[in-house]
Amino acid sequence: MKKQIKAVSCDIDATLVGDYTGGLSDANRKALEDLMDAGVKVGLASGRAYEDLKSYPENWGMKRPFDFYIGLNGASLYDDTVKENRIFFEIEIPHIKLIVEEIDKLGLDSHLYVDGVTLFSKASDRFLKIKQTKHRDFRVVEDLSEMYEKKTSKILINCGDERMPAIREHFKPILEMTGNNVKLVRTSPGCMEFVPAKANKFYALQKYCEAHGIDVKDVAAFGDTTNDNEMIAGAGLGVCMCNGSDDTKALADVISEYPANEDGFARFIDTYIL
């Protein structure tokens, strides 16, 4: 029996898109549009800022924008009905300073969003890769202090999966110094992000559902890793991609039969929802 769903919330990397190039397969595009045509509210839920997310429908060749965009790991929500982007949580400036300076001591590179601009601590390989996309404002700071002049909702570091356990351990006392108001989560292979402790994708999803009279029991959420955990656990139907991390699989109602790079999302939608 197919499950009746009123809204679908989707992570991007390793969920809708399998190879991290940002390209969407024809099958997944059709599944998203079929959901919209059926009257289902469809949204993206990502660590990216809305300034990035708003270009995805056009870049993917879709017929219409998404109904909502959960950005910055749930710290923001853009509701396309009211054309408003709400910011729920930000990291305080003293905590940004503490974290950014510690990242620099470890020799890692970092970047964060401030007023629609991406600030990089150094001209890293990631900076050079993003520079080629030319889809938003970004620059390398001349002095590290520029990164903590204003509040932000996330600080991203590139460290590789093999270093993540040691880095988590290293930053435990640093996060305690913030009063545990900041947490560190894995957001994609090789990447971790410092985010406000209260921010998560399910929080923003709940806010959207409340505004539109949708019961979260009637929502399907798709994701693959730690920053999707609350959304996967809280939605009526939480789906972790079979290529996802073990912690996220443990919270899911269902694990997809096919991975993201084999149209796992589209195959699931066609089999179990539409």
Q: Tell me: pLDDT of 128 over 60.
A: yes
Residue that is last in its domain, among 196, 227, 246: 196
Do 207 and 83 lie in a common domain? Answer: yes
Q: Which domain holds residue 74?
A: 7-88+199-273
pLDDT per residue as tens digits for the range 3-37: 789 999 999 999 999 865 668 999 999 999 999 99
Q: Work out the end-to-end distance of the chain between its first and last CA atoms, rounded to an integer number of angstroms.
A: 10
Residue 136 sits in the same domain as residue 62: no
Closest residue by Cα to residue 87 from 111, 71, 63: 71
**Shared-domain flag, residues 233 and 255:** yes
Q: Is the pLDDT of residue 177 over 50?
A: yes
Q: What is the pTM of this model?
A: 0.90
Q: Are residues 209 and 73 in the same domain?
A: yes
Evaluate whether residue 1 is within a structural domain: no
For the stretch 215-265, pLDDT in tens is 999 999 999 999 999 999 999 999 999 999 999 999 999 999 999 999 999
- Tens digits of per-residue pLDDT, 52-84? 899 999 999 999 999 999 999 999 999 999 999
Residue 47 shares a structural domain with residue 115: no
- Report how many domains make up the chain: 2
Asked whether residue 77 is domain-assigned, the answer is yes
Q: What is the CATH number of the domain that holds 54?
A: 3.40.50.1000
If asked whether residues 134 and 170 sit together in one domain, one would say yes
